[in-house]
Amino acid sequence: MPADREAIRTASRIVVKVGSSSLTTPHGTIDVDRVDALVDVLAARHASGTQIVLVSSGAIAAGLGPLGLTSRPRDLATQQAAASVGQGVLVARYTSSFARYGVRVGQVLLTADDMMRRSQHRNAQRTLNRLLELGVMPVVNENDTVATDEIRFGDNDRLAALVSHLIRAEALVLLSDVDALYDGDPRKPGARRIAEVHGPEDLAGVELGGSGRVGTGGMVTKVQAARIATGAGVPVVLTAAAHAAQALNGADIGTYFHPDGRHPGTRLLWLAHATTGRGRLHLDSGAVEAVVGRRMSLLPAGVTAVEGDFAAGDPVDLCGPRGRVVARGLVNFDAGEIPELLGRSTKELASTLGPEYERELIHRDDIVILEPYN
Ligand SMILES: Nc1ncnc2c1ncn2[C@@H]1O[C@H](COP(=O)(O)OP(=O)(O)O)[C@@H](O)[C@H]1O
Ligand SMILES: N[C@@H](CCC(=O)OP(=O)(O)O)C(=O)O
């Protein structure tokens, strides 16, 4: 077994994400045999003492048959109706399938907003941790019935990566209908398996195509999810659901994304990956150098403009002089207070406006530098 894959075999907390295409039939019903085969593998690993969170797609795909639909609907309301019907069918199947091994299942439906708001984020974290302590297998999906187009994950790959941050997982396993990442469309002759990814340089020139028949996102969202997880020190394996057992055993199968070794605190991971800026602060080049280069706090003197309607404590994006977002931070002032502070030193602000204005616009502990893939 390759040394790196050992991390997957020995991980004591794992997130496993499985896609719609691996769980449902072309008729829009649950593929009972494939669900049971996956459950066999997960129950065996669970029995060995590993805590597992299962992020399962398939609600929409499993709701199609019962509603007499022959393909994934285009409109959101019908997708949500299908998800509502399918999610019940899916969890019922997991519940009875895991019951064969005496394993209890707990349904957890999350929205993008739950991940974005710090209080809800903590709440989800507490619930998942408690379920794991109780020996329950949480089955997570996006809460499709209430998600709207604007505030939707849309794909569970990113959700699974965020859940791996949330529960401080030691590995993330992405199971799909394709056995690995290929350097081009795997349905075309000549495509070659990529066995390992060390960083973005290994993906240069790789064609990341769209999804198959029922999935969403295709390889693009899987590679993004892998980057989010590996950036937090979590190794990722991507392979076919049929190879789940080998992947969990650390076999040289699928594609292994090496962790990059950094373990930022969950708060900064949350800020980088689970929030969106509620506004923008435009920085001059000196402020970019101070904040990004020297990891200093952001002072009003280096800010040239403010956009958006945010409140103190909200996440805001920090842009360089050419408009590129370089960092995100939790701002200490309301949007309306900022214009009169711009370009002025904290000393001057304190003497004219009062000592409470001597504080940074954003403290350095509340700033996360965003890498280009964000
Ligand atoms: N470079 C690539 N390597 C592997 N698969 C790819 C690639 N580009 C596109 N794909 C397609 O991505 C699909 C998997 O994504 P998706 O349909 O979203 O799956 P899931 O439902 O498992 O999330 C595969 O069926 C495959 O055809
Ligand atoms: N939340 C949706 C799944 C969206 C999704 O990511 O699907 P997939 O690409 O199959 O993992 C559902 O349950 O149908």
- CATH number, domain with residue 115: 3.40.1160.10
Is the confidence at residue 213, as pLDDT, over 60?
no
Handedness of CA 56, 59, 65, 71 (dihedral sign): negative
Same-domain pairing of 256 and 324: no
Residue ending a domain, choose from 269, 290, 321:
269
Q: Does 201 map to a domain?
A: yes
Ligand 1 centroid to residue 304 C-alpha, Å: 44
Same-domain pairing of 176 and 324: no
Is the confidence at residue 215, as pLDDT, over 60?
no
Ligand of minimum distance to the alpha carbon of 152: 2
Q: Does 374 map to a domain?
A: no
Mutating to test ligand 2, I would choose from 17, 18, 20, 143 the residue with most ligand atoms within 8 A of its C-beta, which is: 20
- Looking up residue 325, the CATH number of its domain turns out to be 2.30.130.10
pLDDT grade, residue 183 (50/70/90)? very high
CA–CA dist 264, 243 (Å, integer): 31
For 221-236, the pLDDT digits (tens) are: 899 899 889 988 899 9
Is the confidence at residue 263, as pLDDT, over 70?
no
- Ligand-binding annotation for 143, yes or no, is no
Q: Does 341 map to a domain?
A: yes
Same-domain pairing of 330 and 232: no
Mutating to test ligand 2, I would choose from 142, 177, 219, 221 the residue with most ligand atoms within 8 A of its C-beta, which is: 142
Is the confidence at residue 32, as pLDDT, over 80?
yes
Same-domain pairing of 350 and 264: no
The CB-based long-range contact list for 243-247 (8 Å cut-off, 24+ gap) reads: 243/179, 244/16, 244/38, 244/41, 244/42, 244/173, 244/175, 245/41, 245/44, 247/8, 247/173, 247/175
Contact 176 CB / ligand 2 (< 6 Å) = no
Contact 142 CB / ligand 2 (< 6 Å) = yes
Mean per-residue pLDDT, 309-318: 90
- Ligand-binding annotation for 123, yes or no, is no
Q: What is the DSSP string of 84-98?
A: HHHHHHHHHHHHHHH
Same-domain pairing of 350 and 319: yes
CA–CA dist 374, 362 (Å, integer): 20
Contact 160 CB / ligand 1 (< 6 Å) = no
Handedness of CA 356, 360, 365, 367 (dihedral sign): positive
CA–CA dist 30, 14 (Å, integer): 24
Domains of the chain: total? 2
pLDDT at 350: 75
339 class by beta-carbon count within 10 Å (0-12 exposed, 13-18 middle, 19+ buried):
exposed
Ligand 2 centroid to residue 192 C-alpha, Å: 26
Same-domain pairing of 237 and 344: no
For the chain, give the percent of residues with pLDDT over 90. Answer: 63
CB 62 within 8 A of CB 84: no
Contact 211 CB / ligand 1 (< 6 Å) = yes
List % helix, strand, coil for the chain (3-state, nearest 5): 40, 20, 40
pLDDT at 170: 95
Greater confidence, 373 or 115? 115
ipTM value for the complex: 0.96
pLDDT at 373: 35
Same-domain pairing of 22 and 162: yes
CA–CA dist 237, 172 (Å, integer): 7
Residue nearest to atom 11 of ligand 2 (CA): 19
Mean per-residue pLDDT, 15-22: 96
Same-domain pairing of 230 and 174: yes
Contact 225 CB / ligand 1 (< 6 Å) = no
Residue ending a domain, choose from 254, 269, 284:
269
Residue ending a domain, choose from 217, 239, 269:
269
Is the confidence at residue 240, as pLDDT, over 60?
yes
Ligand of minimum distance to the alpha carbon of 219: 1
Is the confidence at residue 68, as pLDDT, over 60?
yes
pLDDT grade, residue 18 (50/70/90)? very high
Q: Which atom of ligand 2 is nearest to the CA of 216?
A: 9
Same-domain pairing of 93 and 11: yes
Handedness of CA 110, 115, 119, 124 (dihedral sign): positive
- Domain of residue 71 covers 3-269
Distance, C-alpha 19 to centroid of its chain: 14
Contact 215 CB / ligand 1 (< 6 Å) = yes
CB 360 within 8 A of CB 297: yes
pLDDT at 231: 84
Ligand 2 centroid to residue 58 C-alpha, Å: 6
pLDDT at 272: 85
Range in 127-131, 305-309, 336-340 the model is least confident about: 336-340
pLDDT at 12: 96
Same-domain pairing of 45 and 138: yes
Ligand 2 centroid to residue 245 C-alpha, Å: 22
Contact 217 CB / ligand 2 (< 6 Å) = yes
- Ligand-binding annotation for 144, yes or no, is yes
Strands 13-18 and 255-257 turn out to be unpaired
Strands (E) in the chain, as ranges, are 13-18, 51-56, 105-110, 137-142, 171-176, 196-197, 236-240, 255-257, 279-283, 303-308, 315-319, 325-330, 367-369
- Ligand-binding annotation for 347, yes or no, is no
- Ligand-binding annotation for 216, yes or no, is yes
Contact 106 CB / ligand 1 (< 6 Å) = no
Same-domain pairing of 75 and 17: yes
Same-domain pairing of 254 and 332: no
323 class by beta-carbon count within 10 Å (0-12 exposed, 13-18 middle, 19+ buried):
exposed
pLDDT grade, residue 324 (50/70/90)? very high
Query: In whole numbers, what is the pLDDT of the chain averaged over residues?
Result: 89
CA–CA dist 171, 9 (Å, integer): 9
